[in-house]
Structure 1
Amino acid sequence: MPLDGEVHLYCLNLPHDASKLTGYGCLLSEAETKRAGLLKSELVTSRFIAGRGILRTILGAYLDVDPADVKLATGEHGKPYLADGTKDLRFNLSHVDDLLVLAVAAGLEVGIDIEKIAAGKPVHDIARLAFSRQEQEVLLAMPASRQIQAFYRCWVLKEACLKACGSGFSLPGSSFDMPLIFEPMVKLINCNQTFWHVRDIEVPEKYCAALAVEARGGSPSLPEIVWCVPNGKLADNT
């Protein structure tokens, strides 16, 4: 189990091996199996099955239960959580392509997001919809060569916060400011009347990721990050 004030991070490759997918599929709940069957393509389905199977395997190890017996539920805006509440374990996950990132903490809400950096994305159009006025102004003032990276960094930091507080984008991204340039790597942010420690996390090149961790009472004490695979490296699976 993570210690108090500690966050365990995972960065994993989703497998496509048929035998592994079959094994992970056996761990899914009836609702998860039904959801997998409704997905639009074989690739999306395999990624969902692998992601849920890996999540259940990791949580089962923390809880000392069979992965198939992990009771998962979903909040109003889609944030997953442990339904039985037997241990005060909080988690959040995100995936893009075949990459999955997962954060696990004891007693602290967490949010995590990963995105693939796409050079052709209409970042200014998206920023007008999802960023605050201050964020838009800072982005536009940057050299063009830095704007794509800055946009994605701001996006994952904001989404990590929104996922941590459980609102997702039901709370407008423009409702709080995320500094596009800040040092040190960790910043205390007020989002949805709660303070969060937000930070970049190291992931493979061409991707961008961030973590948000609840700051109890606005405490400046930083959570300790424990990589359960080497920092920024990939593990094939659990």
Structure 2
Amino acid sequence: MALLENQVDIWLVKPHHISCPNQLAYFRQQLSEQERAKVDKQYNQEGRHSALVTRALVRNVLSKYHSTIAPSDWRFGKGFNGKPFISNPNVTLDFNLSHAQGLIAIAVSHQLELGIDVEYIKRKANTYKLAPRYFSPYENEALAQLPYQQQAIDFFNFWTLKESYIKACGDGLAIPLDHFWFKIKSFDDIELGFSELRNDSPTQWQSFLFEPTLEHKMALTVRANRTAPLTINQFNFIEDNLITQL
């Protein structure tokens, strides 16, 4: 598959849709010994299944863009704060991964730093406790002005966006979540702002929100000039077809 410089592809899969024993055995063969050990350490069968599909998804998706590299031949490293990267030589792909109950997502780009986050929104979240602790004053004020039911929805919008930004930076929770904020005008018109404690430029980032299922929110943040055109594709991994395009 071709991947343009201004393009991000998002691949989605529901892990329970992959249940064929032969397919799962084939996926397991593709993993490194370290990955297989991590899969086996999961608490229960559901966790082991999801972990196996997650790791195999990364390898098989990347091979779609480098057909000369078999899924089992991909090599990975981790940055200072744990962000994974591809360590195969002469590969210019960047990727990021997220999974929540019932859904796995991987975003792939050509040398664009990016972060993706998926959240299961049917779980109970005490927005009254979490938002004041982690959100900026602007975000808390925006939530407080909404009806109660809408607060829960926008809480996950803000949360996934924040997670996607810190994942794109590669610093994780080393970045205080109240040092930056998002202003959501629409799912593809989102402004990023920073407090004086965060040395970053909002013009160098683009963020997007998605509803891949009725039970999930998903956010993507890409280090790209705010005025630069980006093409965002969503693919169904099992059916290998394009779902949506921005």
Read off the aligned partner of 2:188 and give its amino acid letter: M
What is the aligned partner in structure 2 of residue 144 from structure 1?
Answer: 148
What is the aligned partner in structure 1 of residue 108 from structure 2?
Answer: 104
CA distance in 2, matches of 1:122, 1:165: 27
Are 1:207 and 2:216 matched, yes or no? yes
What is the aligned partner in structure 2 of residue 197 from structure 1?
Answer: 206
CA distance in 2, matches of 1:187, 1:83: 32
Deviations 1:19-43 (A, max 9, x none): 2221111111111112112221121
SS at match of 1:161: helix
Shift of 1:101: 1.3
Read off the aligned partner of 2:23 and give its amino acid letter: K
- Quick check: 1:213–1:223 contact (8 Å CA) kept in 2? no
Are 1:41 and 2:48 matched, yes or no? no
Runs (4+) of structure 1 moved beyond 4 Å?
none
- Quick check: 2:205–2:226 contact (8 Å CA) kept in 1? no
- Unmatched runs of 5 consecutive residues or more in structure 2: 237-241
- Quick check: 1:197–1:222 contact (8 Å CA) kept in 2? no
Aligned pairs (5 A) from 1:52-131: 52-64=55-67, 65-118=69-122, 120-131=124-135
Structure 1's 39 and 119: CA in aligned 2 closer, same or farther, altered over 3 A? closer
CA distance in 1, matches of 2:27, 2:103: 16
Shift of 1:98: 2.6
- Unmatched runs of 5 consecutive residues or more in structure 1: 233-238
Shift of 1:228: 2.9
Structure 1's 9 and 119: CA in aligned 2 closer, same or farther, altered over 3 A? closer
The TM-score normalised by the length of structure 2 is 0.86
The TM-score normalised by the length of structure 1 is 0.89
1:221 aligns with one of 221, 228, 231: 228
Aligned residues: 229
Shift of 1:187: 2.7
Shift of 1:57: 0.8
Q: 1 or 2, which has the higher strand percentage?
A: 2
- Quick check: 2:136–2:179 contact (8 Å CA) kept in 1? yes
Deviations 1:192-221 (A, max 9, x none): 625310011230112111111111xx4411
- Quick check: 2:187–2:210 contact (8 Å CA) kept in 1? no
Shift of 1:177: 1.1
Identity of aligned residues (%): 27
Deviations 1:58-85 (A, max 9, x none): 1122122110000112222222110124
What is the aligned partner in structure 1 of residue 239 from structure 2?
Answer: none
CA distance in 2, matches of 1:94, 1:223: 21
RMSD: 1.8
- Quick check: 2:206–2:226 contact (8 Å CA) kept in 1? no
CA distance in 1, matches of 2:105, 2:123: 22
Read off the aligned partner of 1:198 and give its amino acid letter: S
- Quick check: 1:186–1:200 contact (8 Å CA) kept in 2? no
CA distance in 1, matches of 2:129, 2:81: 25
What is the aligned partner in structure 1 of residue 170 from structure 2?
Answer: 166
Are 1:27 and 2:30 matched, yes or no? yes
Deviations 1:107-133 (A, max 9, x none): 101111111113632112111221112
